[in-house]
């Protein structure tokens, strides 16, 4: 009968006993993460506020289209109306707020849309990031409403600044988590190399 030698078992705390893939996939708990969620909150929950923000852009786009169409019907353009960009801007000036807000949605929000896939790729879409994403989108909705509707500049400016602060907090949180994860990755790599 062939003598089979059982492989040596290392204690769970020994890094050598942990597969390298497990070590490399581990992430560190940071002030932005909890052990309960492991850094991933409800899977792809951060996609929902992102979908809502994209929906807002489409709603503003349709509002711009309908508003301009009504303006064209009420004020038929002449031959020189669209001869130049300046002439077209003057023609649409009375109904330009939806277009201005539409352009605005492709300025700072671009940084939000850039951050979301990075959070998903790195698996750092923790619960705080999801909450901040919803807050950011809610502020952007309020900003669009004020921009197109009441046109209260002080309120609009306050909402614009608030949305920028929230977005900045999301990027700072991502940078902190990414740096922490890099530290864990380097330590795990060193442990595997020594093992």
Q: Which domains are assigned to the chain?
A: 42-194 (1.20.120)
Structure-block tokens of residue 145 = 């409403």
pTM of the model: 0.76
Fill in the DSSP letter of residue 157: H
- SS3 (DSSP) at 110: helix
**In whole angstroms, what is the distance from residue 186 CA to residue 195 CA?**
14
Residues in the chain: 195
Mean pLDDT confidence for 76-90: 85
**pLDDT score recorded for residue 39:** 44
Q: Is the dihedral of CA 30, 33, 36, 40 positive or negative?
A: negative
> What is the mean predicted confidence (pLDDT) over 140-156?
95
Cβ neighbourhood burial of 19 (10 Å; 0-12, 13-18, 19+): exposed
Residue 128 has pLDDT above 70, yes or no: yes
Decide if pLDDT at 18 tops 50.
no
- How high is the pLDDT of residue 151? 85
Lowest mean pLDDT among 51-55, 80-84, 165-169, 181-185: 80-84
Virtual torsion, Cα 170, 187, 190, 6, nearest 10 deg: -120
Res 81 pLDDT > 50: yes
Is the CB of residue 130 less than 8 Å from the CB of residue 45? yes
């Amino acid at each position: 009968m062939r003598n089979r030698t059982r492989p040596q078992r290392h204690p769970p705390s020994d890094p050598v006993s942990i597969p390298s893939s497990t070590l490399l996939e581990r992430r560190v708990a940071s002030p932005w993460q909890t052990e309960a969620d492991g850094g991933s909150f409800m899977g792809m929950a951060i996609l929902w506020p992102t979908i809502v923000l994209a929906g807002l852009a489409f709603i503003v786009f349709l509002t711009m289209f309908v508003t301009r169409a009504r303006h064209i019907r009420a004020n038929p353009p002449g031959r020189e109306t669209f001869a130049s960009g300046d002439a077209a801007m003057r023609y649409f000036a009375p109904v330009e707020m939806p277009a201005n807000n539409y352009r605005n949605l492709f300025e700072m929000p671009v940084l939000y849309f850039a951050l979301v896939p990075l959070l998903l790729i790195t698996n750092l879409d923790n619960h705080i990031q999801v909450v901040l994403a919803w807050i950011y989108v809610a502020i952007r909705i309020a900003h669009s409403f004020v921009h197109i509707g009441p046109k209260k500049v002080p309120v609009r400016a306050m909402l614009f600044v608030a949305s920028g602060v929230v977005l900045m907090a999301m990027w700072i949180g991502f940078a902190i988590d990414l740096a922490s994860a890099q530290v864990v990755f380097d330590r795990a790599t060193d442990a595997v190399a020594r093992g």
